[in-house]
Amino acid sequence: MAQSQQPLTGKRIACLAADGVEDVEYTQSRAAAEQAGAEVHLISLNSGEIQSMNQDIDPANRYRVDRTVNEATAADFDALLLPGGTVNPDRLRMNPQAMDFVRAFFQQQKPVAAICHGPWSLVETGLVSGRTVTSFPSLRTDIRNAGGNWVDQQVQVDNGLVTSRNPNDLPAFCAKMIEVFAQGETVHQMATA
């Protein structure tokens, strides 16, 4: 791929995930970013490997963690990717360091992309307030209760924040993620977290 076809060349992306991440959401979004020229790092709660799942139930693959949330800082990256799976973001939102890591991207006004249950981290950190986002439909009430406006569409962009509903939306999600990350759109912290 030529430089002009690799709009993320020189960009470093943090992918925050834990055990239970939906395999296709992790692998396809990571591959799309890498094919666009980005350097993607898997950040997790613990060192070693994480276990991905297929449809939240069936174990899929194991992936090597590049750094833990205690070793990584948002300053080291240009953007943040939050894949879903039900268990993955539920584990992340219970970890204060992981939520501080997410908050830091908003504080530093760096673009963020979250798919499926990934927006649970935005709910937990208070960063969904005042934003229009989409997600897996079961998060609709959580997002509304956290002050966000939930919409049912394939991909939604709100000031540098890209969200999508489920694995079926991955083609649109990946395309919009690359576009927003390449432009370096800034997310604005709209709520005090």
- pLDDT digits 0-9 by tens, 148-186: 999 999 999 999 999 999 999 999 999 999 999 999 866
| Annotated catalytic residue, options 15, 116, 174, 188 | 116
Q: Is 15 a catalytic residue?
A: no
Q: Which residue has the tokens 């800034």?
A: 186
What is the token pair recorded at 36?
Answer: 């666009």
Q: What is the pLDDT of residues 43-86, one digit of tens each?
A: 999 999 999 999 999 999 999 999 999 999 999 999 999 999 99
Locate all alpha helices (DSSP H) within the chain, ordered by sequence.
23-35, 87-93, 96-107, 120-125, 140-145, 170-183
| Annotated catalytic residue, options 15, 41, 117, 174 | 117
Q: Is 116 a catalytic residue?
A: yes
What is the token pair recorded at 21?
Answer: 């991440």
31 vs 38: CA distance, rounded Å? 9
Q: Which pTM was predicted?
A: 0.94
Domain boundaries, the chain: 3-180
Q: Under CATH, what is the fold of the domain 3-180?
A: Rossmann fold (3.40.50)
